[in-house]
Structure 1
Amino acid sequence: MAVTTRTLGRSGIEVSALGMGCWAIGGPWSEGGRALGWGRVDDEESVRAVRRALDLGVTFFDTADTYGAGHGERVLGRALAGRRDEAVVATKWGYTFDESARQATGENASPAYLRRAVTGSLRRLGTDRIDLYQLHLGDLPVPRVEALLGTCEELVAEGLVRGYGWSTDRADRVAAFAQRGRHATAVQHSLSVLRDAPELLAVCDKYDLASVNRGPLGMGLLTGKYGAGSTLPRDDVRGSAPTWLEWFRGGRPAPEWLRRVAAVRDALTGDGRTPAQGALGWIWARSGRTVPIPGCRTVAQVEENAAALGLGPLAPDQFAEVERRLAAVRSAALRDADRPHWPMPPIPSARP
């Protein structure tokens, strides 16, 4: 059964049930010598991808001012020129950057910086309003978030922002944020068939928040494109694999996550879906508040993901089978963890 739209929490804004994540179209940027982007991209193909998404009914676009150190917002703004009213635009603030050097430089959680950040995003996006403005600092303590809410409400009153949210995986902090922010309307958090988020989904239900889902395809693992022999380049954030990125280690897919992908692949694709389409169907079946935002940088990726809208959520029996298989993998992992580990098995070669 097709799924086409969702309501963006208490804002009442209608969005497509599928969004387009725009991290990758920001292109290369880094912090020191570590890549934070997804490698080199073709800006013209990125523009075509955004416009193709609109043609196929995808209306929700999620970016951040720091993606590409400002370049990602500029590309999205160019792609939406002349079609801005067809789109719901979400961006984020909190990290600082040097646009000319394509470098991340730190973070700033002050109300004064919030004012400067929204002005910069509006300029780069070429728009007069941001539909969903999200705090990007996921571990910020609640008192510091509360200090920002007054400015957020002022931005809503001035018509510069329609609603605001927080990109965080901290369910306990989201509850406090939702109670105190009148126009708080969404939480962006990690959610995929590989990693559920029951506490965050419960908070969304309790406070009428949209659940905007980053990493819905496991940063590519759930597309079926990567296997044990895959190596990601160093100019790709997955190739440099910072500690917060759990799916990849040493530029390779992490074996424990590949095992989970293998366990559920048949259950996700049994009705003719691609692995990516099955993973998106699982998210829609998980909750009626979810809006997954898989990253795209080509027209082909947009077309494959958008086709999932017509297929809709996984059927109840499919969803149950995926859960059964995941439970079996988790049980096996626990049994392995309890086994003695001496003598150690041979370490496999790092070469493919």
Structure 2
Amino acid sequence: MQQRHLHGLNRHVSAVGAGCWTIGGLASNRGVPIGWAGVDPDEAYAALERAHELGVTLYDTADVYGMGASERLLGRLLAQIDRGQAVVSSKVGYFAGTAAHPYQGQQLLRQFESSCDNLGTDYLDIYFLHSTNFGPEDRYLDEAVGILDELKDDRMVHATGMRAPHTFAAEWATDPSHPQSQEAARFLHLFERIRPDVITVRHNLMSPAYAANETDIFEFARQRGVGVLLKQVLGQALLLGTYSSSAPPAFPQEDHRHADIRFTGSFLRAVHDALVPLGRRFGYRPADLARVALQYALHASPNAAALVGFRNPAQITGSVQSLDPPLSPEDFAEIRHLAEPLRVMLGQHQSPAISSR
């Protein structure tokens, strides 16, 4: 397994990490679908064991992934392996329980304790503020940051994290004419207040290219000395060509993809057509496209690690095996060129459902 040095945490982790959202199964939070259909807990746990066998040391979950089910599955694995060899991250910020807000102090602490109980551990390597909603006028921001700082001081949390925008350049924040100026400025404001050690960002073949004079999230992280975890590197399997545009998948209401336009026939047709040049060059099999997508994402930064979703041993095995054989610098240049239709296609089909995830 390739290793990456995760700045902020200052530890080496496996280049491919286990993204455990998918194994949580169906769930909803205050009426919002947040789950995944088709999850067999026994298969999911077998996949976690397989990940460990393959050398995966990074495991990412959250309190709302299956409303605790994901954490509990991961906790079963942690009970069987050397906890010190695993880097475990969880998140807080979407589940309020009966509190006024998820980041209200006592609620945050309750969720931290519940996560540790579910995972069977007395500390987290990384604890993420999962949401950027801190209440009216950021009422709960200072309280949440203060609690995370205390958890770090007590070594119950080794590093803190936050999410970055899916598209970001630092220069946009000072350009009022840019359509994402406010989002960029908001991120920079929160970054300075939270002072995270690690950030997580969606990055894949559909992510935009940036101009040479723009400071993208990877250069920003390098300048600030923070670690980067990549999510949705396979585009929730959209980039593997596994969905049929003629027979779009139907998901139950508790599956977050239920009303997502990315899984409708028109979007799937657009993805299929945009993948054709990549398939022609590198192969059309899901394994071929996974190799392109995963290695392309990791190529964005020499120290970033990629979180991949899975629901069974075959899926996590396929992702890890996608690291070989390695692509060449010439391959990456060609992929950037061939992926242009994907970036254009995403821009044409942009929607709140896409931009908010």
**Cα deviation code 1:318-350 (max 9, x no counterpart):** 11111212335667999x99xxxxxxxxxxxxx
- The structure 2 residue matched to 1:257, chosen from 239, 255, 271, is 271
SS in 1 for 2:246: coil
Aligned to 2:152: 156
Aligned to 1:289: 303
> In the TM superposition, what is the alpha-carbon distance from 1:304 to its structure 2 partner?
0.7
Pair 165,25 (structure 1): closer, same or farther in 2 beyond 3 Å: same
Q: Which amino acid aligns with 2:223?
A: K
Aligned to 2:313: 299
SS in 1 for 2:121: coil
- The structure 2 residue matched to 1:4, chosen from 2, 5, 12, is 2
Provide the rounded CA distance (Å) in 1 between the counterparts of 2:26 and 2:132: 23
Aligned to 1:188: 200
Q: Which runs of 5+ in 1 are unaligned?
A: 99-103, 338-352
Provide the rounded CA distance (Å) in 2 between the counterparts of 1:197 and 1:209: 21
- The structure 2 residue matched to 1:237, chosen from 229, 232, 255, is 255
Percent identity between matched residues is 28
- Answer yes or no: is 1:201 the counterpart of 2:201: no
Q: Residues 42-191 of structure 1 correspond to what in structure 2 (within 5 A)?
A: 42-83=40-81, 84-96=83-95, 108-138=102-132, 140=134, 144-169=140-165, 171-181=184-194, 184-191=196-203
Pair 123,111 (structure 1): closer, same or farther in 2 beyond 3 Å: same
SS in 2 for 1:318: helix
The 8 Å contact of residues 222 and 276 in structure 1, kept in 2 or not, is answered as: yes
Provide the rounded CA distance (Å) in 2 between the counterparts of 1:47 and 1:332: 36
Provide the rounded CA distance (Å) in 2 between the counterparts of 1:296 and 1:333: 24
> In the TM superposition, what is the alpha-carbon distance from 1:40 to its structure 2 partner?
3.7
> In the TM superposition, what is the alpha-carbon distance from 1:144 to its structure 2 partner?
4.9
> In the TM superposition, what is the alpha-carbon distance from 1:303 to its structure 2 partner?
0.8
Provide the rounded CA distance (Å) in 2 between the counterparts of 1:221 and 1:272: 10
Aligned to 1:321: 334
Provide the rounded CA distance (Å) in 2 between the counterparts of 1:161 and 1:143: 23
> In the TM superposition, what is the alpha-carbon distance from 1:228 to its structure 2 partner?
1.1
Query: Which shows bigger deviation, 35-44 or 74-83?
Result: 35-44
Q: Residues 327-338 of structure 1 correspond to what in structure 2 (within 5 A)?
A: 327=340
Segments of 4+ in structure 1 off by > 6 A? 331-334
> In the TM superposition, what is the alpha-carbon distance from 1:17 to its structure 2 partner?
0.8
> In the TM superposition, what is the alpha-carbon distance from 1:305 to its structure 2 partner?
0.7
> In the TM superposition, what is the alpha-carbon distance from 1:10 to its structure 2 partner?
2.2
Pair 139,318 (structure 1): closer, same or farther in 2 beyond 3 Å: farther
Q: Which amino acid aligns with 2:91?
A: K
Q: Which amino acid aligns with 1:135?
A: L
Residues paired across the two proteins, number: 323
Pair 35,232 (structure 1): closer, same or farther in 2 beyond 3 Å: farther
Aligned to 1:348: none
Pair 306,78 (structure 1): closer, same or farther in 2 beyond 3 Å: same
SS in 2 for 1:92: strand
> In the TM superposition, what is the alpha-carbon distance from 1:202 to its structure 2 partner?
2.4
Query: Which shows bigger deviation, 114-123 or 232-241?
Result: 232-241
The 8 Å contact of residues 60 and 88 in structure 1, kept in 2 or not, is answered as: yes
The 8 Å contact of residues 48 and 79 in structure 1, kept in 2 or not, is answered as: no
SS in 2 for 1:294: strand
Q: Which amino acid aligns with 1:297?
A: R
Q: Which amino acid aligns with 1:16?
A: S
Provide the rounded CA distance (Å) in 2 between the counterparts of 1:138 and 1:25: 24
Pair 332,261 (structure 1): closer, same or farther in 2 beyond 3 Å: closer
Pair 271,46 (structure 1): closer, same or farther in 2 beyond 3 Å: closer
- Answer yes or no: is 1:218 the counterpart of 2:235: yes
The 8 Å contact of residues 161 and 200 in structure 2, kept in 1 or not, is answered as: yes
Aligned to 1:349: none
Q: Which amino acid aligns with 1:110?
A: Q
Query: Which shows bigger deviation, 134-143 or 184-193?
Result: 134-143
Provide the rounded CA distance (Å) in 1 between the counterparts of 2:56 and 2:22: 17
Q: Give the TM-score taking structure 2 as reference length.
A: 0.80
